[in-house]
A = this chain, B = another copy of it.
């Protein structure tokens, strides 16, 4: 009953011939003829895209109806009202998605008709009414497009097929593909099916079922349906549909049949299925089945269950996890104690918690988001036109539509919280506010959505970090069994280190010592150190910092007992620890013009201003920072190194196994590392003495974050035990982009205009930056096979970038604690996809 064409992206004469031939087969099967006046075949055209995506044309029903065949259908079914309902549905859908007329024009006409007939529901409109509406629709189409609604049925078909293909390049579909990283070249197929009708009366209906619950993953049959309806009625969210269990009572034999065939399909595809069905005169038809969309927790549960049910191997299960969705599991949850004021409750359509300022239209959402605000979008219902607003929002709230409504599906796809079908609220767009009973929420008010329970809460609730579910733990263990790439954490303090270890970190890949400098009790000491007029004064301040740093490191070592802790020595330019230049200048000007300020303050501000001006740099990113500081002011690094080894010594005394790895930032020339390595070695010997040195197998390595370091890896590796790629800075320098200046300015423009495939700060640029990494790893390993390699930029938590790291043969990726589970899954998936990274590369270097 299905005819299926998988093609490229364009429609050709050849394709039209194929369609005509296939149609012949359908006609033969059904004993009907397309366009025939007496016994007309009707078909639907449906996108055959593997994943549905917003903006993509999904389905056009009832093709083949025109002024003549509609009469044939009426006679054939002895149901004039039904036939004309189908015809007006075709015109409405075709007019909208093929001919580009906005749907509200048709809805207005329909609304007027119902007023005229004095009915509330579409089903109650009479045949006469439908005929009148069809005339109105014809006029409307002519007025809006200058074209008649096509009476030629092959023309209808051709235009519908073309519309599917065109919609692939629809802007919203492009945006969706961009955020979901689906290649534009993939293209779509088109399916042509003969029609069955759910809108022929009370023993007809249509619906959508999932073989398991797509929100929780539970192995329960799940879905919605409407009696006497066509497909779009269910998904459009205009009538609120019934839960599928009701069908069990209403038409038990259909329910049983549906349940049995669904389970069979699940077993066949080895995955949870999303199935569209129609019941025509008590006969069940399946229109489509595909792997069902689900949220992260559901995906995990389903995959784990399928392994336990023997349907999947562990590798298949791990390979199937959509890592980007794990975010939603790992970040959101409301601190229950804080919840006071639950406004209303809707359907829990996509789990997780969203906190933001409420807005009522997509444009405002996008605009406020660009201005740096966090927003929650509330709409009566969402349409594909709202996609940019959904992207810009933390979560989405709708007053209409069920668990399979547009808002729910898209939000789940994006891993964003969603509460939908929240019928107790009323949004008044003109007044930019929302009513819930007697209460009013105005644009800009803070609200919190709880997608897991469906609650809408007034105010910005504090969020708690997510707990690991059992399924996630199981899956992560499987992942670790599979992967060869280790996952470390970027953690700057003992609390983060603890969380990282709980989430499965196998070490600390980046501990930024400067973050320890920013705490309110220390900053004054750090500032004293910077403002020191001579070395003696500086040493004095440093000696105060020493015990503080030592205790930080002790706590870190304790948390990470027996695991490596990579400590980066001071990196940022010193002026970052001092007051802002502009502020100081303003204060200075004030003090000069006001007569109030005390002379003492004036002197202090003047002195500070002079120092800040002296440290001011035209391009601080490329200035005196990293090891350039450590070489010009060796006493700073000296103190830090001493603190590390004193901490190590004290931990060793307490029976803790310490594995410090000291990382020198921003090395660009071998001599920088050479000198600083000597410093580390001499301090280590001094602090630990020969005996303890044996218990403290420390490493010294460097961040590779300056292009020149990668290019001269052959020299640098001689003094390095490890290379850690600082891909944030490496990306900045390789592209010549200052991240602060690029994002939100030209870089956004570049990504929007597809000049760049991704934002290179989110997804590693394998062509350019990756080339440098590849070079450094290969040359480094060739010279020193024992070299340890990893990355510690933000890319360490990005799936595609992790795949690259696996392929390049790195030993580890290091990422922020909450991305560790994601990285563990991705590391396993990389192995599943590519196997052991090739060792032939080394040969290329020779």
Where the two chains meet, the residues of A that have a C-beta atom closer than 8 Å to any C-beta of B are 582, 585-586, 589-590, 593-594, 617-624, 628, 631-632, 666, 668-669, 671-672, 675, 705-708, 711-712, 715, 729, 732-738, 740-742, 745-746, 749-750, 753-756, 765, 767-769, 771-772
Cα distance A767–B594 when bound, in Å?
57
Question: Which one of B582, B621, B729 lies within 8 Å of A618 (CB-CB)?
Answer: B621
A707 to chain B: which residues have CB within 8 Å? 707, 733-734, 736, 768, 772
Assess whether B671 is in contact with A738, with CB atoms less than 8 Å apart: no
Assess whether A732 is in contact with B671, with CB atoms less than 8 Å apart: no
A582 to chain B: which residues have CB within 8 Å? 585
Cβ distance A718 to chain B, nearest Cβ, rounded Å: 14
Cα distance A622–B742 when bound, in Å?
8
Assess whether A750 is in contact with B708, with CB atoms less than 8 Å apart: no
A769 to chain B: which residues have CB within 8 Å? 708
Cβ distance A771 to chain B, nearest Cβ, rounded Å: 5
Question: Which one of B590, B631, B746, B756 lies within 8 Å of A749 (CB-CB)?
Answer: B631
Assess whether B708 is in contact with A738, with CB atoms less than 8 Å apart: no
A741 to chain B: which residues have CB within 8 Å? 617-620, 622-624
Known: A618-B621, A619-B621. A768 touches B738 (CB 8 A): no
A632 to chain B: which residues have CB within 8 Å? 745-746, 749
Cα distance A30–B55 when bound, in Å?
106
Assess whether B768 is in contact with A712, with CB atoms less than 8 Å apart: yes
Sample of 10 further A-B pairs with CB below 8 A, known A586-B589, A618-B738, A707-B768? A589-B589, A619-B622, A620-B738, A623-B738, A624-B742, A668-B736, A668-B768, A706-B736, A708-B769, A715-B767
Known: A593-B590, A742-B623, A768-B712. A735 touches B755 (CB 8 A): no
Assess whether A767 is in contact with B711, with CB atoms less than 8 Å apart: yes
Known: A585-B585, A733-B736. A620 touches B618 (CB 8 A): yes
Cβ distance A748 to chain B, nearest Cβ, rounded Å: 10
Question: Which one of B589, B624, B736, B772 lies within 8 Å of A666 (CB-CB)?
Answer: B736
Cα distance A753–B755 when bound, in Å?
44
A594 to chain B: which residues have CB within 8 Å? 593
| Chain B residue at minimum C-beta to C-beta distance from A769 | B708
Cβ distance A579 to chain B, nearest Cβ, rounded Å: 15
Cβ distance A527 to chain B, nearest Cβ, rounded Å: 20
Cβ distance A765 to chain B, nearest Cβ, rounded Å: 7
| Chain B residue at minimum C-beta to C-beta distance from A674 | B755
Known: A619-B620, A621-B622, A711-B767. A736 touches B729 (CB 8 A): yes
Assess whether B622 is in contact with A732, with CB atoms less than 8 Å apart: yes
Assess whether A765 is in contact with B619, with CB atoms less than 8 Å apart: no
List, sorted by A's number, 14 A–B pairs whose CB atoms are closer than 8 Å: A582-B585, A589-B593, A593-B593, A617-B741, A618-B741, A619-B740, A622-B742, A623-B745, A624-B741, A624-B742, A631-B750, A668-B735, A669-B750, A707-B736
Cβ distance A773 to chain B, nearest Cβ, rounded Å: 11
| Chain B residue at minimum C-beta to C-beta distance from A747 | B628
The listed residue with most B CB atoms (<10 A of its CB), out of A711, A729, A746, A769, is A711
Cβ distance A92 to chain B, nearest Cβ, rounded Å: 40
Question: Which one of B585, B593, B624, B750 lies within 8 Å of A745 (CB-CB)?
Answer: B624
Cα distance A594–B590 when bound, in Å?
11
Cα distance A736–B573 when bound, in Å?
13
Cα distance A12–B729 when bound, in Å?
50
Assess whether A734 is in contact with B711, with CB atoms less than 8 Å apart: yes
A732 to chain B: which residues have CB within 8 Å? 622
Assess whether B772 is in contact with A711, with CB atoms less than 8 Å apart: yes
Assess whether B586 is in contact with A711, with CB atoms less than 8 Å apart: no
A624 to chain B: which residues have CB within 8 Å? 741-742, 745-746
Question: Which one of B590, B706, B755 lies within 8 Å of A669 (CB-CB)?
Answer: B755
Cα distance A766–B590 when bound, in Å?
51
Cα distance A631–B585 when bound, in Å?
35
Question: Which one of B705, B745, B755 lies within 8 Å of A675 (CB-CB)?
Answer: B755
